[in-house]
Amino acid sequence: MGNGKIGIIGGSGVYNIEGIELINEHAVETPFGETSSPVIEARLAGTEFYFIPRHGKTHHLLPSEVNYRANIFALKSLGVDYIISISAVGSLKEELPPNTLVLVDQFIDWTKGKRERSFFGNGLIGHVSCADPIEKNLQRLLAESCKKCELPHAINGTYICIEGPQFSTRAESQLYKSFGASVIGMTNVPESYLAKEAGIAYATVAMVTDFDAWKDEHCTVDEIMAVMKINNQNAQKLLLDALPRLRENKFDFDKQNSIGVMTPKSSWSAEHNKLLKTLLSE
């Protein structure tokens, strides 16, 4: 069975979970620059994990400014094999109202090319399948925790990722809805794709805050903040159950990144060898 470590990427609300113990901070050097913040090593419900606040400790990074490669590479270098991603999203479906936790299984990339989205390049060619970007075993485990905690949730669905930071126009929102997408966000691509390239099991908990622009429904700032408060409370309840559940039920999974490397080993540079030593590590 798998014995890798657990990582969480999400909002700074993780710090506020009752009972969390902060163990250490790690300033991890990566070939891709700095992470969003030092990686937090923590313990909750008897389970140790590594945590990166995606937008930085002070929420100072736009979605397009997040160094996704550095974040994923740093977690991989610390031995992380499982990542739980927690993200705020808008809903594109009537049946997914605010405060629903959507455990998506697919992504559509609708970003504009500003983001570095692969570890490959600079003479090293690799093509890793993202047909199934979510690790089903991890998704299933999160669903079990949602059920046990009696949290409103939905299993499966498509997350369309836009560039931001602006929210959609009504016309754009209707277009995304016509694609059949379930939720809309700004951060899980290329994060999820990079996890595949790094051989990490990745699953998203998409927390619905509103109905995006397709529904003619005005929300005040106070109403949105109230929804976000409940979402944060639900995410904390979920993690309190899911972390020990994952600790006790770690699983092996098919890491397809090694078969995606096309450049022959004889042509790898010293930098390529160093990079792949981390990305392809078991």
Q: What are the residue numbers of the active site?
A: 210, 212
Phi–psi pair at 26, nearest 5 degrees: -120, 120
User: What is the rounded distance in angstroms from the CA atom of residue 108 to the CA atom of residue 176?
Assistant: 10
Quick one: 60 exposed, middle or buried, by C-beta within 10 A (0-12, 13-18, 19+)?
exposed
Tokens of 6: 């657990």
Contact 49, 8 (CB under 8 A): yes
Report which DSSP code applies to 196: H
Return the closest-CA partner of residue 237 out of 36, 63, 86: 86
Angle at 22 between CA 16 and CA 26, to 5 degrees: 120
d(CA 125, CA 123): 6
Tokens matching residue 94: 């009537």
Nearest Cα neighbor of 211 from 89, 90, 87 is 90
What is the pairing mode between strands 158-162 and 5-10?
unpaired
Q: In degrees, to the nearest 5, what angle opens at C-alpha 27 toward C-alphas 25 and 28?
A: 125
